[in-house]
Structure 1
Amino acid sequence: MFTFLHAADIHLDSPLRGLETYADAPVGQIRQATRRAFDNLIDLAIAERVAFVLLSGDLYDGEWKDYNTGLFFVNRMGMLRKENIRVFLASGNHDAASQITKSLRLPDNVHLFSTKQPETLLLEELGVAVHGQGYDKRVLAENIARTYPQGLPHHLNIGLLHTSLTGRQGHEPYAPCSLDDLMAKGYDYWALGHVHLREEVSRSPWIVFPGNIQGRHIHEPGAKGATLVRVEEGRIATVEHRDLDVLRWSLCRVDLTDCTTMDLAIDAVRQGMETEQAEAEGRPLAIRLQLVGKSELHAELHRDSALLTEEFRGLAAGLGEMWLEKVVFATQRPVALAVDLGEETPMAELIQAIEGLDFEPAALMELVPGIGELQKKLPPELLHEGGLVPASISEASDLREEIKEMLIARLLGQGGRR
C-alpha cells in the first residue's frame, strides 16, 4: 500500500487580484498566498508519507520577476528529497513562457518530463509506470495524448497531461483531446492540469483535474487544493480532495425578497457573510456580495449603492479577516414600472427610453451629456481605470444594467438615505 499526491496549476508568485486597491487589504497575505499554499502541499506530502508527488503543469506564472521564485521551488523540492519523496513534473503553457525555467537545475528527486515526446518512468518497487510530456511552447494546439504509449501490463499506469480536454470555460483550448483518447491508453489514473476548478472527469479510469491550490481572484472561488490517492494491492482504493488554500474567495448571494426595510436587508447581508465565514473554516475571506430577489427596496438599493457599498464593507471588516471585493446590485422590482406609472405617462416613456439606451461608453456620453457628473458619483465597483468600462467582457451586461437602474432610481427618487 502507498499513497501519492496530485496537484496542478500552482502559479507560484502569481498575484491575487481584486483587493489591491483597498487600503485595508491583506497585502502581505496576497503577496505570499501561492507560496504559503505550496508550503501546505509540501507539509501534506510529508505528513501523509506519500511515495511521490505529481505536478501537472503551470508550476510558474510565466516569466519570473526574479530568480527567487525558482529558488523557492528548489528549496521545497529539497525538503521532499530529505523525506525520500520523488516528484514528477510536466510543464504547462505558463511554464513554457519562462526562459529562466529552462536553465533551472532541479534536485535529483525531481523528474521534468520531456517536451519533445512522451516519456515513461518506471517505479518497479511500487509497480508503477508514470507517463508524461510537457509543453515546449505556450500555445500547444496538437493532441499529444494520442502519442502517449499504451499502459504497461502488470503496472499501475499514470499519465500526466496539461490539457483542456474538449474545452472548459475560461481556459484556452490547449493540448485538446477527448475522453476516448485518454481511455484508449489503458491507464489507471490520468493526472490532468490546466483547469482551475476541481473535476473528477471519470472514475473508471480515474481522470482528475485537481484544480489550482490557491484561488487568485473572485472567478476562482471555493476550496482549493490537491488530490490524495491511496493505492492498495496495485489498484486505486481512494481519491480524496485536500484543502491547501490560505485565503478563500467566495460569492455571497443574498436574497432580499422578504426584506421590507433596509435594516432587514442589512441583517440579511450580515447573516450571509457569517455563513460564508463559517464555511471558510478560519481562513481569511474575500467575498463578492450579490444582492438578488424581487425586492421592495430595489430602487433605494440602486439609488444609494455607493453609500450601501461602504456600509457593507464595514460589516465585512467588523467580522474580522474578511474583505469585500465588490457588491453586485442585481435585485428586481416586485412590480413592473409600467404598472406603477401607467404605460402612456411621460415618466413611463422617459424610463422606457433609458431602458432602451445603448450603454456602450461612447454612445452613452453622446446620448446623455450629463453622464460625466453621474460618473463621478458612481461607486468604484462600476468603474475600471477611471472610466465606464467593465473589468471583463463577461461583466459588461451587469454593468449596463446597474447604470440603467441607477439612472432610473435617481430619476424617480428624491435624494438618498437620511
Structure 2
Amino acid sequence: MIKFIHSADIHLDSPLHRLEVYDGAPVDRIRQASRRAFENLVNLALGEAVDFVLIAGDLFDGTWRDYNTGLYFISQVRRLTTAGIEVFMVAGNHDAAGRMTRLLPYPEKVHLFSHRDAQTRTLDPLKVAIHGQSFGTGAVTDNLAAGYPEPVPGYVNIGLLHTSLTGREGHETYAPCTLADLENRGYDYWALGHVHQFEIVAETPMVVFSGCIQGRHVRESGARGCVRVNLKAGSAPEVTHHPLDVIRWERLTVDIGGAQTIDQGLDRFKAALETKIDQHDPLPVIARVDVVGETTLHPRIAADPEHLKESFRSAAIAVFGDRAWIEKITIRTRPDGRAATHPGPLQELALFVDTLTSSGSDLLALSDELAALFQKLPADYRSGDARLRPDDPQQMRELVDQAHALLVRRLKKDAAAS
C-alpha cells in the first residue's frame, strides 16, 4: 500500500489581514498560526510514516520580508527527508509572485517542478509517477493540464496541479481546465491546489482539492487541513481529511429578537458563542458576529451601536478569555413592529424614514446627494474592509436608520428639558 499526504495553500507567514488594528487581538498567536499548522502537517507525515508529501502550490504568500520564512521551511522539511519522506511541490500564483523564494536551495529529496513545461518524477521502488508543472508568473491563464505527460505504464500516476478548474467562487481563474481534461489524462489521482476549501471533485479518478491548512480570515471558516491518501492496487484511493489548523474562524449569528434589555441580548450572545467554542474545542475561535432580530432595543442600539459592540467584546473576554476573540460585529436589528408609534412630528419622521429605506433607488439617490460629504471623510472611512460604501443600499439603509435613532433620541431629550 502507498501512503501519502496531499496538501496545498500553506501560505507560510501570511499577513494578518488588518487584525492587528483591533485592541486585544492575539496578534502573535495569529502571526504564528501558519507555521504551527505546517508543523502539524510534518508531525502527521512522520506519525503516519507516509511515503511522500505533495504540496500543490502556494507554499509561500509572495515575497518574503526576510529569509526567515525560507529558512523555517527548510528546517521543517529536513525533518521529513531525514525520515526518508520525499516532498514534491509545484509553485502556485503566490509562489511565482515572490522573488526571494527562488534564491535558497532546497534539501535533497525536496523536488520543485519546473515552470517551463510539465515534468514527471518517479519513485521506482514504489512504482509511483508524479507529474507536475509550476507557475512561472503570478497569473497563469493557460490550460497547464493539457500539456501533462502520458501516464507511466505499470505505475501509480499522480497529477500535481495548481488550478481553479472551470472556476470557484472567491478564487481567481488560474490554469483553467475541465474535469474531462483531468479524467482523460489517465492518472489515478489528481492533487489540486488554489481552492482553499476541501473538496472531492470526482472519484473516478479521484480529483481532490485539499484546501488550505490554516484559515486566514472569516471567509475561511471551519476546520482546515490536508488529506491523507492510501492507495492499494486495484482499489479506489482512500481519502481522509485531517485538520491541521490551530485557530478556527467562524461566523456567529445572534438573534436578540424580543429582547427587552441589553443584558438579555448579552446572554444570547454568550450562549451562541459558547456553542461555537465547544464545537471547536480545544482550538480558540475568532468570530465575526451578526446581531439580528426585531426588538424594542433597536432605537437604543441604532443610536449608539458601539456600546453594544463593546459590551459583546467585554463579555467574550470576561467569560471565555483566550478561548475566543471577536473580530468584527455587525448590527442588523430592526424596530419592533408592535411598538407604540409616537404621535406628531416623530410619527411623520418615522413614516418618512420607512419610505426612504424601503426603496433602493431612493437610498442611492441620497448617496449621490451626500457624495461630496463622503469624500471629506478621513481616509480610514474611505478604504479597507471597514470603509463606508455609499453605493451599497444596505449600508445606506443602516446609516439612515442610525441617523433616525440619534435624531429621535435628541428630540426626546430636548422635549423633556423644555
Cα deviation, 1:197-249, whole Å, max 9, x if unaligned, reads 22221122211111111111122111111111112235344211111111211
Partner of 2:153: helix, strand, or coil?
coil
Question: Which residue does the alignment assign to 2:27?
Answer: 27
Amino acid at match of 2:334: Q
- 8 A contact 1:225–1:242 mirrored in 2: yes
Question: Which residue does the alignment assign to 1:152?
Answer: 152
- 8 A contact 1:359–1:400 mirrored in 2: no
Amino acid at match of 1:403: L
Q: Which residues in structure 2 correspond to 1:229-308 (within 5 Å)?
A: 229-233=229-233, 235-308=235-308
Question: Which residue does the alignment assign to 2:400?
Answer: 404
- 8 A contact 1:341–1:348 mirrored in 2: no
Q: Which residues in structure 2 correspond to 1:124-139 (within 5 Å)?
A: 124-139=124-139
Distance in 2 between the 1:167 and 1:393 partners? 28
Distance in 2 between the 1:65 and 1:406 partners? 42
Partner of 1:324: helix, strand, or coil?
strand
Cα deviation, 1:176-213, whole Å, max 9, x if unaligned, reads 11111111112221111111122221122211111111
Amino acid at match of 1:402: E
Amino acid at match of 2:370: L
Amino acid at match of 2:90: A
Partner of 1:164: helix, strand, or coil?
coil
- 8 A contact 1:116–1:136 mirrored in 2: yes
Distance in 2 between the 1:33 and 1:25 partners? 14
Cα deviation, 1:32-73, whole Å, max 9, x if unaligned, reads 111111111111110111110000001111111111111111
Q: Which residues in structure 2 correspond to 1:48-127 (within 5 Å)?
A: 48-127=48-127
Distance 1:100 1:282, change over 3 A: same
Amino acid at match of 1:39: E
State yes or no: 1:196 paired with 2:196. Answer: yes
By how many angstroms is 1:348 displaced? 3.9
Amino acid at match of 1:154: G
By how many angstroms is 1:291 displaced? 1.4
Distance in 1 between the 2:340 and 2:139 partners? 52
Question: Which residue does the alignment assign to 2:416?
Answer: none
- 8 A contact 1:18–1:218 mirrored in 2: no
Cα deviation, 1:103-140, whole Å, max 9, x if unaligned, reads 22111111111111111112222222211100011110
State yes or no: 1:316 paired with 2:312. Answer: no
Question: Which residue does the alignment assign to 1:386?
Answer: 380
What root-mean-square deviation, in Å, do the aligned CA atoms of Structure 1 and Structure 2 show? 3.0
Distance 1:190 1:394, change over 3 A: farther
Q: 2:334 is matched with which residue: 313, 328, 332?
A: 332
Partner of 1:291: helix, strand, or coil?
strand
Greater shift, 120-129 or 254-263, is seen at: 254-263
Question: Which residue does the alignment assign to 1:215?
Answer: 215
Question: Which residue does the alignment assign to 2:170?
Answer: 170
Q: Which sections of structure 1, spanning at least 5 residues, go unmatched?
A: 376-383
Q: Which sections of structure 2, spanning at least 5 residues, go unmatched?
A: 414-418
Greater shift, 404-413 or 185-194, is seen at: 404-413
Question: Which residue does the alignment assign to 1:380?
Answer: none
Distance in 2 between the 1:123 and 1:336 partners? 72
Q: 2:353 is matched with which residue: 338, 351, 354?
A: 351
By how many angstroms is 1:305 displaced? 1.1
Question: Which residue does the alignment assign to 1:378?
Answer: none
Distance in 2 between the 1:360 and 1:389 partners? 21
Question: Which residue does the alignment assign to 1:381?
Answer: none
Give percent identity, aligned residues only.
42
Distance in 1 between the 2:172 and 2:395 partners? 25
Distance in 2 between the 1:352 and 1:216 partners? 39
Distance 1:362 1:397, change over 3 A: closer
Distance 1:237 1:200, change over 3 A: closer
Question: What's the TM-score once normalised by structure 1's chain length?
Answer: 0.88
- 8 A contact 1:155–1:234 mirrored in 2: no
By how many angstroms is 1:279 displaced? 1.7
By how many angstroms is 1:393 displaced? 8.9
- 8 A contact 1:15–1:30 mirrored in 2: no
Partner of 1:96: helix, strand, or coil?
helix
Cα deviation, 1:310-364, whole Å, max 9, x if unaligned, reads 000011112121211111112334539999889x963245314753333897743
Distance in 2 between the 1:212 and 1:130 partners? 21
By how many angstroms is 1:271 displaced? 0.6
